Amino acid sequence: MASTVFNGTNLLIKIADDAGSPATIGHTTSCSISFTNDMAAATTKDSSGFSESIAGLRSAEISFDGLVDYTDANGGKEIAHKLLTRQKIDFTFGTAATGDTIYSGEGFMSSCEISGAMEEAVTYSGTITVTGAITESTN
């Protein structure tokens, strides 16, 4: 049964090498997916002085943060490796609950940061820029 209002802890990002089987990114503390629809100008003299647009190119980006644990199969170290080697990755974004919407597709790591302050946990953050179509489905 699909989730109603739910705890953000249930959102998961899974990644894998291109054509692999996605596994959850370890120790994430937050994640988001952002969809964009570029609007192309369609204003003419018949627009009565109002701006008009048509839907153009769509794009998406996934951002996430987490705590570094070098024993994670998909953690800060692996995220950095995927960026440095320019690997295309497969992703899924959603919950594990039956009936919930999940988004999946392919992308590239477009940013990765690993940082640590004195006496605090080491953190990582990353961004996946989606390439190609996104599939919307349910668990």
pLDDT, residue 73, reads: 83
pLDDT, residue 76, reads: 87
List the domains of the chain with CATH numbers: 8-138 (4.10.410)
| Confidence tier at 125 by pLDDT (50, 70, 90) | very high
DSSP per residue over the chain, as a string?
Answer: ---SS--GGG-EEEEEETTS--EEPTTEEEEEEEEEEEEEE---GGGTT---EEEEEEEEEEEEEEE--TT-TTSHHHHHHHHHTT-EEEEEEE-SSTT-EEEEEEEEEEEEEEE--TTS--EEEEEEEEEEEEEEEE-
Reported as a single tens digit per residue, the pLDDT across 96-118 is 999 999 999 999 999 999 999 99
Give the C-alpha separation, 110 to 128, whole Å.
Answer: 6
Work out the percent of the chain whose per-residue pLDDT is above 70.
99
Output the pTM of the full model: 0.89
